[in-house]
A and B are shown apart, each in its own frame.
Chain A
Amino acid sequence: MIAESMYQELILEHYKHPQGRGLREPYDAEVHHVNPTCGDEVTMRVKLGDGGKVLDVSYDGQGCSISQAAASVLHELATGSTVHESLSVVDEFTRLMQGRGQVEADEDVLGDAVAFAGVAKFPARVKCALLAWMAYKDALVRSQA
């Protein structure tokens, strides 16, 4: 039961009950990212406010439980924080995912996203977890351009 440890309760919970799903107005930038190997996709919008405040992260997409739950967790973590804060979470999440299971996660920074630690042991699934997070990073760049 190696993989069942990957499917943490929290991941399944987000998959079954995604938070903040659905594309909303207004927004500053919209991006569409796909994972060509499995066809997972996400469309993401961000709306920024004064002082680099992230007012809304809205998204829609299709894919496996890992990719969809990752988008839901991202929505929770990023919405209401600042661009600066959320980017440091994205960086820590990326470091964890690309660590081949050898990286100790910083729970203080990652919050619920720490549940994805087990995914890092499955190289084929790392891209699923990162899909929405990379889209978010891209959307931030575009909304600030």
Chain B
Amino acid sequence: MTSAAPFDVERIRKDFPILSRELPGGRPLVYLDSGNSSQKPTLVIETMREHLAQHYGNVGRALHALGSESTEAYEGARDKIAAFIGAPSRDEVIFTKNASESINLVAYAFGNPINTDERFKVGPGDEIVISEMEHHSNIVPWQLLAQRTGATLRWFPVTDEGRLDIEGLNELVNERTKIVSIVHQSNVLGTVNSESPILARVREVGALMMLDASQSVPHQAVDVAELGVDFVAFTGHKMVGPSGIGVLWGRRELLDAMPPFLGGGEMIEAVWMDHSTYAPVPHKFEAGTPPIVEAVGLGAAVDYLTSVGMEEIKQHEKELTGYALDALQEVNGLRIIGPRTVVARGGTVSFTMEGIHPHDVGQILDDVYGIAVRVGHHCARPLHLRFGIPATTRASFYLYNTTAEIDALVRGLHHVQKVFG
């Protein structure tokens, strides 16, 4: 789909009501925390309001008019998301609560006694491979799997520049490997990982591969068929959609082979007192009343992003990132953690400032300039340990950010240095 009009950030900003609010003390809001959670356009807010006001009913089980309107909207959202990520089948799009749940769902299918499929059998001697740049949500579920099964957790190291170090690929991914799960775009470094060399090796050894695409799907066109991996996880709230809704995309044939994750209403075919049979995918993995309005809101988010154009969004963010990398490197004592060029890199820039703790940086930026950044380890503690630092300050950009906001950030950082210098 092509965009309706050339990219105009001022026009886009008008679509996001929150961006024109004032903070206490008359400070304008400079929102540089979209990697944490993005803001919502009027289209998403109004679609959700409209659904609640006019169409709401439970999905998949109510026969009345509202039930069918609600089901239509919910399943319509699935169609939109399937199209957005190039899913070969709409049934491969599973609604979850968030990306963490999506990853847990897949991890739970491994080493599960009720799953007899060879590819999911995991025990002592088997290996699970992740990387050192993962968000905790792509570390802990695999640690738990290793603890449950006695399998070994291994990981790709990260280079000083903040790139995935795949030098040891052939040893790391081997005949013992059951699954490789890595992040598509790092939520700290901004690094965009190329999945293809890893995938080639994964296929050679007969393992499976998952991508945590929480930070890539919102910012670039992601086509799951083109990627060629087996599972992709992402979340709604980082892509101008609501919180409480996430997505797992998986190959139909694998999803069919996997056991249910949560048991409950609507995931069954028939239930007896002593056993049950299960609904076909996607419903097998959607136990209980799902986040209906949130799914509808995510459908609207996908409509919105498509109307702006993912290529245009990517290009805009690339310009912002280049501008930010140049401007930030001019600040004395500032060290960027991650690639210093825009090549294979998204609009997330993390940094340290000599002698000043990120919490102090974030507090002053917020307080004096209304600049919202994230400070801390960003749920990626092992990555921070690897760089020998406890925390970073992170600015993350999206389609509605401007170079003027990056100028404000740089001014803010100079002020921080004045306070603590």
Residues in chain A within 8 A of chain B (CB atoms) = 1-4, 6-7, 12, 15-16, 37-41, 62-66, 68, 122, 125, 128
Contact = CB atoms under 8 A, between A and B. Distances in A.
Contact of A38 (B359, B364, B366, B420): B359
23 contacts: A1-B367, A2-B25, A3-B367, A4-B364, A4-B367, A7-B360, A12-B419, A12-B420, A37-B376, A38-B375, A38-B376, A38-B377, A38-B390, A39-B377, A40-B357, A63-B359, A65-B356, A65-B357, A65-B360, A65-B420, A68-B357, A122-B363, A125-B363
Interface string B199-215: 00000000000000000
Given A1-B25, A63-B357, A65-B357, A38 B391 contact: yes
Interface in B331-376: 356-360, 363-364, 366-368, 375-376
A52 to B, nearest CB: 35
B168 interface: no
A127 to B, nearest CB: 11
B197 interface: no
B24 interface: yes
Contacts of B357: 40, 62-65, 68
Interface residues of B, number: 21
B419 A39 contact: no
Nearest to A62: B390
Contacts, number: 59
Contacts of B358: 64
Given A15-B420, A38-B376, A65-B360, A2 B381 contact: no
Contact of B390 (A1, A16, A63): A63
B384 interface: yes
B308 to A, nearest CB: 34
Contacts of A65: 356-357, 360, 420
Q: Which of B363, B368, B376 has the most CB of A within 10 A?
A: B363
Contact of A39 (B25, B381, B420): B381
A122 B356 CA distance: 19
B419 A7 contact: yes
Contacts of B368: 1, 3-4
A40 B376 CA distance: 10
A39 B384 contact: yes
Given A7-B364, A66-B359, 20 more contacts: A1-B367, A2-B24, A3-B367, A4-B364, A4-B419, A6-B363, A12-B420, A15-B420, A37-B376, A38-B359, A38-B377, A38-B390, A39-B381, A39-B391, A41-B390, A64-B359, A65-B357, A66-B360, A125-B363, A128-B359
Contacts of B360: 7, 64-66
Contacts of A6: 363
Contacts of A41: 390
A33 to B, nearest CB: 14
A48 to B, nearest CB: 31
A90 B24 CA distance: 33
Q: Which of B358, B360, B366, B420 has the most CB of A within 10 A?
A: B360
Q: Which of A6, A37, A64, A122 has the most CB of B within 10 A?
A: A64
A4 B25 CA distance: 13
A6 B363 CA distance: 10
B367 A39 contact: no
Nearest to A6: B363
A27 to B, nearest CB: 25
A3 B24 contact: no
A30 to B, nearest CB: 20
Contacts of A4: 364, 367-368, 419
Interface string B378-406: 00010010000011000000000000000
Nearest to A16: B420
A123 B25 CA distance: 20
A2 B376 contact: no
A2 B365 CA distance: 12
Contacts of A38: 359, 375-377, 390-391
B139 to A, nearest CB: 15
A4 B363 CA distance: 9
B419 A125 contact: no
Nearest to A128: B359
B60 to A, nearest CB: 40
B376 A3 contact: no
Contacts of A3: 363-364, 366-368
Q: Which of A16, A38, A68 has the most CB of B within 10 A?
A: A38
B115 to A, nearest CB: 34
Contacts of A128: 359
